Amino acid sequence: VFVALLACPACGVPVAAESGMPVLVQSRFIGGDEGWGVEGTGVQPPKVLHKTLSVEAAPGGAWHWRAPAEFHGNWSSGYGGAIEVQRGYFELNKGGKEELVHRGGFDLTLESHQHGFSIGVGNLVQLGSFEMRHVVALAPSAGWVRSDTGRPASDQDLRKLLSSVSGMTLRGGHYHGGEHAFLSQVLLRGPPPADETSGGVPSAATMDAKQQGSSPSSVASDQETGLQKALRERERTMAGIAPAQVVVDARHHAPPATAAVAGSAKQPPKDAA
């Protein structure tokens, strides 16, 4: 079954700044790929589309997004903060299977060549979700696992790795029938100030809930209203004005994605430009 996203994901309601959590490094793909790349098999070179970075991947492809050098170096000041990712799919094909390709391994990986090990977290991607927001705490409670031992990363492990980060990857290739995936933003956030009493990061990696279907009669009007609202909010965010009504807590809060079964014909999202 081929499914296409009808609403432009780049126009989704932007994420408000986590309360008191400064952005240390960011990629928003407004005007280019910002040095991000892909590696692996069955995937085409990335390109900027609808103010996102997108790739088309063939069935059976095994690939990852790889962060640029701006995300390398000493992340010690980020301990207690979070990695925040907004991503999703323009198109996806389940290939007749109601399960993701990956049943284990890491969806997000941090590497340290200097210290000779990497850590990661899995289970960030949910079957059928077109737009997702992951907020993964840079703390042991987020469920980080050492790749060399398969054991939970300790506080010492995490602090050691963050002192010299040499790579960060996000796994793709989740669907048996292929996918047209995108990234809309990736942020490294520092911890809130010591005197902050609210708005902290989640203690563990969480995932977005899959949207429950809307009635056919309401899809068009909901899509139009949501798109107009999202455009306004994105303009406000780019101007440095956080939307007041977006509240972040310990769970993901992804903007609703409207999906429909499109048969064999592609139905690309509307351009946000």
Maximum CA extent, the chain? 57
pTM higher than 0.75, yes or no?
no
pLDDT tens per residue, range 259-268: 333 333 344 4
> Is a pLDDT exceeding 60 seen at residue 81?
yes
Distance set, CA 152 to CA 120, 124, 145, 161, 221 (Å): 10, 17, 4, 14, 46
Q: Which amino acid is at 94?
A: K
> Is a pLDDT exceeding 60 seen at residue 9?
no
Report the candidate in 191, 183, 168 with the shortest Cα–Cα distance to residue 73.
168
Instruction: Answer for the pair 263, 2: CB distance below 8 angstroms, yes or no.
Output: yes
Report the candidate in 94, 93, 54 with the shortest Cα–Cα distance to residue 269.
54
> Structure tokens of 259?
């999906």
Angle (CA) 93-251-10 rounded to 5° is: 50
128 compared with 15, residue with greater pLDDT? 128
User: Average model confidence (pLDDT) for the chain?
Assistant: 75
Lowest-pLDDT choice from 113-127, 195-209, 230-244: 230-244
Looking at residue 74, its pLDDT comes to 98
119: left (phi over 0), alpha (psi -120 to 50) or beta: beta
Lowest-pLDDT choice from 1-15, 43-57, 105-119, 147-161: 1-15
Instruction: Answer for the pair 161, 110: CB distance below 8 angstroms, yes or no.
Output: yes
Looking at residue 202, its pLDDT comes to 52
Across the range 148-162, mean pLDDT stands at: 97
Sign of the Cα torsion 99, 100, 104, 107 reads negative
Distance set, CA 198 to CA 101, 237, 248, 249 (Å): 38, 21, 10, 9
219 compared with 166, residue with greater pLDDT? 166
Q: How far, in Å, CA of 9 to CA of 108, rounded?
A: 21
Looking at residue 47, its pLDDT comes to 95
Lowest-pLDDT choice from 10-24, 54-68, 143-157, 199-213: 199-213
Looking at residue 261, its pLDDT comes to 31
What single string gives the DSSP state of each residue in 174-224? --TT-EEEEEEEEEEEPPPPTT--S----SS---PPPPPPPPHHHHHHHHH
C-alpha torsion 46→169→124→245, nearest 10: -70
103 Cβ contact list (under 8 Å, min separation 6): none
